[in-house]
Amino acid sequence: MTFIFPLQKVLDVKEKEKQQAQQELGFSLKKQLDIEENMNALAQRRASLESRMLQVNQGFRACELLDQQRYLTFLDEKMDRLQNNLRQTVKEVEIKQTVLSEKSVDEKVWQNWKQELRERHQQAVRKQEQDELDEIATIRFFREQRVW
């Protein structure tokens, strides 16, 4: 007899929910990494611009200095927006990790239940087989007793 888990479809749904939670966590982590890379690139651009402004401060005209200062302000604002996005994304990652943890536990409970039912089924099959072997042995014993 083969074992058929009566709630296999529920287990399949739980497994798919876990996979979906893993994918969502992966997307959130990628988003976080992208934001961090953008922030690093902006910080490098800002540092490069500041060093250029300090090195050739005497050679700039007033309008060029104002343009450079506006660009620095623009970079600062963009970095602030990215910092806010990063904070939100970090919270999102934490939430996704919690969801994944819950889904993993839920799926593990169902897997354990399936395994327990499978073991019970195998024990019942082994007991039935043993009972049949015992019956065959008993019949053989009585047949041998009658022959003598």
Phi, psi torsion values for 5, nearest 5 degrees: -75, 120
d(CA 142, CA 148): 10
d(CA 129, CA 6): 23
Average pLDDT over residues 50-58: 72
d(CA 135, CA 114): 31
The pair of structure tokens assigned to 121 is: 């089924």
Q: What is the pLDDT of residues 110-131, one digit of tens each?
A: 999 999 999 999 999 999 999 9
**DSSP secondary structure of 39-79:** HHHHHHHHHHHHHHHHHTGGG--HHHHHHHHHHHHHHHHHH
Domains of the chain: 8-147 (1.10.287)
pTM for this predicted structure:
0.75
The pair of structure tokens assigned to 47 is: 């540092």
Which region among 16-25, 52-61, 95-104, 139-148 has the lowest average model confidence (pLDDT)?
A: 52-61
Average pLDDT over residues 32-52: 93
Burial (CB < 10 A; 0-12, 13-18, 19+), residue 35, is buried
User: Are 137 and 59 contacting, i.e. CB atoms less than 8 angstroms apart?
Assistant: no
C-alpha distances (whole Å) from 125 to each of 128, 129, 131 are 5, 6, 10
Residue appearing with tokens 């354990």? 112
